[in-house]
Amino acid sequence: HVFTHRLLHARGEAETMLMGAATVAPLIRRLCPGVEIESRDRFSQLVYAGPKKLTRLPRRSAVVAFSTDAVYAIAELIRRQRGGAAVVMGSLSPRTRNAQVALFQSGEVDFLVATDAIGMGLNMDVDHVAFAGLRKFDGRRTRWLHPQEIGQIAGRAGRYRKDGTFGVTGDAPDLDADVVAAIEGHVFQPVAAAEWRNAKLDFGSLHGLMRSLAAPPPIAGLTLSEEAQDETTLRQLAGDDTVVRRTRDRANLIRLWEICQTPDFRKTTQEEHTRLIGMMFEHLTQRDRRLPEDWMQGQFNTLDRTDGDIDALSARLARVRTLAYVANRPDWLADPQGWQERARGLEDRLSDTLHQCLMQRFIDRRTSALLRSLNQGGATILGGIGADGAVTVEGHVVGRLAGVNFEPERGDTALENRALRGAVERAVAPEVARRLGELAAEADDAFTLEGAVVLWRGHRAGEIVGGGPFSPRVRLFGEFGADTPRERAVRRLEAFVAAEATRRLSVLKRLKAAISEGQLKGLARGLAYQLVEQFGVLDRRRADAQLRALSRNERRTLKSLGVRFGAFTLYLPALLAPPANLLGAVFAELARPNWRPALAALTALPHPLPPPEALSLRGLRAVAGFAAPVAALERLDALARAAEPQAAGAVRLTPQLLAELGWKPGQAEQILRALGFQRAGRTDPAEASLWRRRAAAATDASGQQGSPFAALAPLVKTPAQQRRRRRKRPAARAAASGSAA
């Protein structure tokens, strides 16, 4: 009815221009005789595209819903699946709404989720409008949208000569064919009448004012508008005795009608709005006819804060807009200009904060920026790598480049991770290629080994994944770079690990070289071969026959190569200490993953049993169902000898001995039995038990099953008798030489 009043009573002196749809042209001719109507055809076509899933909507789409909850839910989904969306609703302040529209117009986001507020007053580059619903609450009831309403909203799609499309999405039903035809052809039912409300009001009495508001239209083509909120508020206040008494004064009645026209930006209940209007009327009809300063101050004090979520900020902002309306009434406040500035400043702060909250909730700015650049072909992606390795793309930190390995910041969604992957590849691939070349040409001192991980210049570059210490297999970290440079980098890392193994396991390498170079012969060579095969740990009983047959020179040679002849084990002591055992543990883990026994204590063997190298590489042996440290077994012998020097080869399980080894009595007894000991007769229960070696049984090759030297065992047990050659006398030698002559 306000527009109708302006149409009839707010004409220009020389000319009045009206803009509207063709459906209102017949009515305008009736209301404004002599009007000239000019038509302007739409340059672009509007075409129905049918239903589409939210996740399949084209870029530059606007999704229209008809409740705040629906707008929020759709915007959340688009954020997860497409990077984000701007949000436009009628309840937003103009400043917030314009800021959200600017996000869409600038291309920072490609989707807009809105109520039917986008149908009027907003000019945007929208290519497709999707209706998430076709029913709306119009303030009184929930009803289906009229075809012209759908057409008005769908008309946001397309611009100038660029065609647009519209459709439905989500749970919205498909549009009927006749509705689609009407929208595409812009053929709608003409407007039959304009809503009208009497502007010549009777301020003689309260009831006279209410009667004049309900007066019927004076001419055809007008229809009385439904009761507006200001009328409803007036009617409710008319039942208040104080209001009735005060409005007997004409000036107070005029003031009441002015106050009733205060808009309810808060969208609260009618009763609450009426209470606010009644309170303001009471203040404005006092002696000074102004709203008290302390009342306004109290209103602002409760609103002057920018914390809270979107709903809290929206509610606060709506109340501030109501106060801003009050402040702009020239005769309602003693200092209207001061309150106007304060209201404008608070509205701007709340609007900006609400805009930021909407962006944080409904826009993943990093993913949106990356997708935008990728959709443009990726040629314009702006990326960089900082001194600390931080990788930025389009101004957003997307991860860190450490050495040749890019460590991405994980996104919250699969979409975000895909966007990161595509953008980062363009940004860091050239730098990774350069670094791969540098890595392949580096000297050994640029690398270090921490566990199974190879560091290059302090950064993780690769990981040992298989092979042996002297022929390792290494996996290069990272996924960027061409195949050839990556293969060269892998070979360089493998060469470093092999060289590091040669340094750390030099005693094993030296023993292996002595075998291949022929430095060791016969039985010594066989023992050395077994030690190399078993990575430096060999059960002495398996080689007992060979050991007894070794000559002193052979023993001396093996000792010079680092072999120790222990009481229970032949081993290489240098492999039991760092840094050798640290590297051994790496390859032991590869031989039996996910099993990490203690290196200085007994550990129960798992099932199935680990391969021998998984024990030897850690300096362990399998004894009586335990993984026992070789050093602890030899310590057992040393402690026993020190405690009982007169009982050679015997072991007394004293508390002190057990404490030194960290073994429990039951464990110690099991190990002694497995090592070939037996309890030496009955002992006093109060005394520590004494254990002696069992009598040595005939040794056969059974203890060396699988060894290539097992076939030599019979020769060791019964060595061949050597005949001594008789020395000839000098005369006999002379005769022999004479006969030969």
pLDDT at position 689: 84
Residue at which a domain ends, from 499, 526, 547: 499
What does the buried/exposed string (b/e) look like for 53-90 if buried means 16 or more CB atoms within 10 Å of the residue's CB? ebeebeebbbbbbbebebbbebbebbbbbbbbbbbbbe
* SS3 assignment, position 28: helix
What does the buried/exposed string (b/e) look like for 654-664 if buried means 16 or more CB atoms within 10 Å of the residue's CB? beebbeebebe
Shared domain check, 253 and 212: no
- The DSSP element (H or E) to which 504 belongs, if any, is helix 483-504
Provide the token pair at 24.
Answer: 């209102």
pLDDT at 408 over 90: no
Contacts of 331 (CB under 8 A, 6+ apart): 289, 290
Nearest-angstrom CA–CA distance, 577 and 598: 14
Residue type for position 116: D
Shared domain check, 274 and 234: yes
Q: What is the mean pLDDT of the segment spanning 200-227? A: 94
Contacts of 133 (CB under 8 A, 6+ apart): 64, 65, 66, 67, 70, 170, 171, 172
Say if residues 683 and 692 touch (Cβ distance below 8 Å).
Answer: no
Cα angle for residues 500, 506, 509 (degrees, 5° grid): 105
Is 585 domain-assigned? no
- The DSSP element (H or E) to which 46 belongs, if any, is strand 46-52
Within 675-729, residue ranges assigned H as helices are 713-717
Is 263 domain-assigned? yes
Say if residues 475 and 463 touch (Cβ distance below 8 Å).
Answer: yes
CATH number at residue 101: 3.40.50.300
Shared domain check, 251 and 263: yes
Place of tokens 């022999």: 736
Shared domain check, 439 and 331: no
Shared domain check, 445 and 352: no
Q: What is the mean pLDDT of the segment spanning 447-466? A: 94
pLDDT at position 701: 38
Nearest-angstrom CA–CA distance, 125 and 118: 12
Nearest-angstrom CA–CA distance, 741 and 736: 9
Nearest-angstrom CA–CA distance, 87 and 104: 9
Confidence of residue 371 (pLDDT cuts 50, 70, 90): low
Is residue 388 classed exposed, middle or buried when 0-12, 13-18 and 19+ CB atoms within 10 A define those classes?
Answer: exposed
Full DSSP string of 555-619: HHHHHHTT-EE-SSEEE-GGGGSTTHHHHHHHHHHHHSTT----SSS-EEPPSSPPPHHHHHTTT
Residue type for position 283: H
Nearest-angstrom CA–CA distance, 731 and 741: 15
Is 695 domain-assigned? no
Provide the token pair at 125.
Answer: 């580059």
Q: Which of 336, 334, 339, 246 is nearest to 292 (CA)?
A: 334
Q: Which of 323, 327, 329, 196 is nearest to 255 (CA)?
A: 329
pLDDT at 325 over 50: yes
Cβ-based neighbour number of residue 307 at 10 Å: 8
Cα angle for residues 393, 397, 400 (degrees, 5° grid): 100
Q: What is the 3-state secondary structure (H, E, C) of 475-494?
A: EECCCCCCHHHHHHHHHHHH
Shared domain check, 208 and 332: no
Nearest-angstrom CA–CA distance, 473 and 168: 57
Q: How far is CA 727 from CA 81, 632, 737, in A?
A: 102, 54, 15
Shared domain check, 198 and 174: no
Query: Taken in order 551, 557, 558, 560, is the CA torsion positive or negative?
Result: positive
Say if residues 201 and 209 touch (Cβ distance below 8 Å).
Answer: yes
Is 199 domain-assigned? yes
pLDDT at 229 over 90: yes
Shared domain check, 282 and 218: no
Shared domain check, 206 and 260: no
Residue at which a domain ends, from 455, 478, 499: 499
Shared domain check, 258 and 171: no
Is 463 domain-assigned? yes
Q: What is the mean pLDDT of the segment spanning 610-627? A: 92
Bridge partners (DSSP) of residue 32 are none
pLDDT at 374 over 80: no
Nearest-angstrom CA–CA distance, 546 and 542: 9
Shared domain check, 337 and 256: yes
Count up the domains in the chain and report the number. Answer: 4
Is 563 domain-assigned? no
pTM tops 0.85: no
Is 595 domain-assigned? no
Lowest mean pLDDT among 161-170, 449-458, 649-658, 669-678: 649-658
Q: Which of 201, 205, 202 is nearest to 249 (CA)?
A: 205
Q: Could you list the residue range(s) of the whole structural domain that residue 135 is in?
A: 54-179
Full DSSP string of 273-296: HHHHHHHHHHHHTSSS-S--HHHH
Query: Per this entry, what is the length of the chain?
Result: 741
Residue type for position 342: R
Averaged pLDDT score across all residues of the chain: 87
Chain segment 695-706, per-residue pLDDT in tens = 654 444 334 444
Contacts of 423 (CB under 8 A, 6+ apart): 370, 373, 374, 378, 381, 383, 393, 394, 398
Q: What is the mean pLDDT of the segment spanning 37-64? A: 91
Shared domain check, 332 and 259: yes
pLDDT at position 682: 67
pLDDT at position 734: 44
Is 222 domain-assigned? yes
With pLDDT > 70 as the criterion, what percentage of the chain qualifies?
87
Residue at which a domain ends, from 437, 468, 499: 499
Chain segment 664-681, per-residue pLDDT in tens = 999 999 999 999 888 887
